[in-house]
Amino acid sequence: MKFRQLGASPLRLSEIGYGASRIGDLGSVLDCEAVLEAVWDCGIRYFDTAPGYGLGLSERRLGDFLRTQERSSYVLSTKVGKILTPVGGRPSNVMPFDIAYDYSYEGVMRSFEFSMARLGLSSIDILLADDLEAPTLGRADYRRHLAKFLESGVKALDELKANGDIAAFGIGVNDVGVCLDVMQRAKLDCIMLTGRYTLIDRTAGTRLLGLCQRTATPLIVAGILNGGTLLEENAERDVSDPLAPFAKTAQEIARESGVNLASAALQFPLANSSVASALLGTTDAQRIKGLVAGIKEPIPDHVWSRFNSVALN
């Protein structure tokens, strides 16, 4: 496994990381342990989680696993902006919390403290403001929460970094416009972008990638398989999805060229020097090994040219 420097921070990320969102939904702790063991055995040493994943269960399960490893041997990121508040009346198999959005100074500090408790670890390396975007919050609430974040949330992150509690901070979103907006108004150490710099969706485009390069802001890319679409067995998708024709064409190119589509999906973002890590999120212990092995699959230039000609830009 190769490692990449996270900008000016002291952190080096495995170029393939693991997004632990779905381990919060696994019914069995043993299943979760098997997945994380397989991830570790593949050489992955960067792990991402969030309070909202499984309403705290992802952080708890990931923390339980990482406590068995040397703390200096991995990099961990989690999110701020969503506070878990206790509620009653939930089924016994669901964590008894609701989510309250808070990107203020107090909200960031509370979220950090709660995450430390759930993880049960001595430190967190990276904090990302989670889902700070209009598509998630609605336009009016986005403007309100963004103002709070820029006014005081960034100050909290700066303090945590200055005190050595974290090594880097940024935002974790699905929207390119938000990245451009926030990067012009706050100094971030990194950005995590989901589903917008992939083999079939290039809407991150030259504007964001160019800004990342000019400001030396590394990009962590999540959702590289576009929700599993770029796995060979998942060729079908909702025809109303705007990515459906692009996914279908990519499947055809891969089949005609004898190339594994998931391998191309993994290699694509990592070809850009601004990308620090690309995240996988499967909870299939056997599949993770095959996906990671795909980083070494040779893909001819003419096949890349075909993929490049049909992506959404």
**Active site members:** 48, 53, 79
Structure tokens at 99: 């989510």
Q: By the 8 A CB rule, do 179 and 115 touch?
A: no
Amino acid making up residue 138: G
Q: By the 8 A CB rule, do 32 and 58 touch?
A: no
Residue 108 and residue 308: Cα distance in Å, rounded? 40
Amino acid making up residue 287: R
DSSP character at residue 161: H
Residue 287 and residue 34: Cα distance in Å, rounded? 12
DSSP character at residue 198: S
Which residues have C-beta within 8 Å of that of residue 187, sequence separation ≥ 6? none
Question: What number of helices (H) and strands (E) belong to the chain?
Answer: 12, 12
Angle between helices 29-41 and 285-293 (to 10 degrees): 20
The secondary structure of 226-255, three-state, reads CCCCCCHHHCCCCCCCCCHHHHHHHHHHHH
Q: By the 8 A CB rule, do 76 and 13 touch?
A: no
DSSP character at residue 189: S
